[in-house]
Amino acid sequence: MKRTRPNDRVLSEREAISVFYSVFGMSPRSAIPFGDDVSAVPVKDDLFAILKTDMFVRKTDAPKGMTFKQMGRKAVVSTVSDFAAKGVEPLTLLSSLAFPRSFTSSVIEELAAGLNEASREYGAAVIGGDTNEAEDLVIDVIGFGLARREDIVLRSGAKAGDIAATTGTFGEVTAGLRILQEDLPSDGPLHRSFVNAAYMPRAQLREGLALSRSRTVTSSIDSSDGLAWSLHELSRSSRVGFTVTDIPLGRNIDEFAAETRADPYDLALYGGEEFNLVFTVDEKRWNEAVRAVESVGGQVFNIGYATERLDVVVRREGKEVPIRPAGWEHFITEK
């Protein structure tokens, strides 16, 4: 008979993670606290091995209609994006896959092509892994890199007065997912662009490396769980608040919001899987940060500033509106 403890309950993803953290404790060889985007282990002097694993499960992570090749790509992008947020280049990848025995050779070839093309797009390669049988497709991608301590950008360095910024616009992926989930027409150019954003994400590795080299960034995270959640994570880790003065909406998001009777800012704040970098910069070095990103073909958007007050708000129509700590979360969010 199954035994349960008093007050035993089903946990959210982040609650489950906190249980693991409390049991594991802090390893004496870990150079980065639990909860940041990557892990780090000292190798020699101030050189660290940077490690990251990210899991893709078809049921929860693949939008309807996504090809197997695109699934392999997205699994790689998820891992590389965390390296980008830390300003570290992934040198190599390992990938373990579990899938149903019904998968044919053409499906396996598609998955392999997606993993290979995406990894090489970011200057890495898959050098090994494992396979197993499962009822659904599961892809686990482990990244490895090397970095000096001073090159690793943590979530915990923001200071009051720092400029809050991002390397991309928001809302496109959320719109694409909504089109797919609600079976909205996807044959027009506007809707096709949103769906393509959901199918073909991009890790902003060039931008992350450029920002790290510029030494202008005080904290950083990727926005895979949504802009709102990313700001709250930086707030919690750095013990600052944020006042958001501008949210860079994706092209034609206003039009899509009007069409679907949605709030465009809700689409931008509470979506996820856009893989932009959300970071803070010393206000005196803002122009340096902008030049660094533009030098690799990227963009930087000033979205507000860090505050001593610990709340996270957006200024709209002369009023400060709280930003909820919400976004994508397994065991809670429906897809």
CATH fold label, 13-151: 60s Ribosomal Protein L30; Chain: A; (3.30.1330)
**pLDDT of amino acid 187:** 80
Domain with CATH 3.30.1330.10 in the chain: 13-151
**pLDDT of amino acid 85:** 97
**pLDDT of amino acid 332:** 43
**pLDDT of amino acid 25:** 65
The dotted CATH code for 163-322 is: 3.90.650.10
**pLDDT of amino acid 330:** 45
Which ranges of the chain have pLDDT less than 50? 1, 329-332, 335
Instruction: Report yes or no on whether pTM surpasses 0.75.
Output: yes
Go through 48-59 and write b for each residue having 16 or more CB atoms within 10 A of its CB, e for each that does not: bbbbbebbbbbe
Phi, psi torsion values for 268, nearest 5 degrees: -75, -40
**pLDDT of amino acid 35:** 75
| Per-residue pLDDT reduced to its tens digit, 60-76 | 999 999 999 999 999 99
Domain with CATH 3.90.650.10 in the chain: 163-322
Q: How far is Cα of residue 59 from the mean position of the Cα atoms in its chain?
A: 19
Q: CA–CA distance from 60 to each of 92, 252, 278, 334 (Å)?
A: 26, 27, 24, 8
Q: How far apart are CA 300 and CA 167, in angstroms?
A: 5
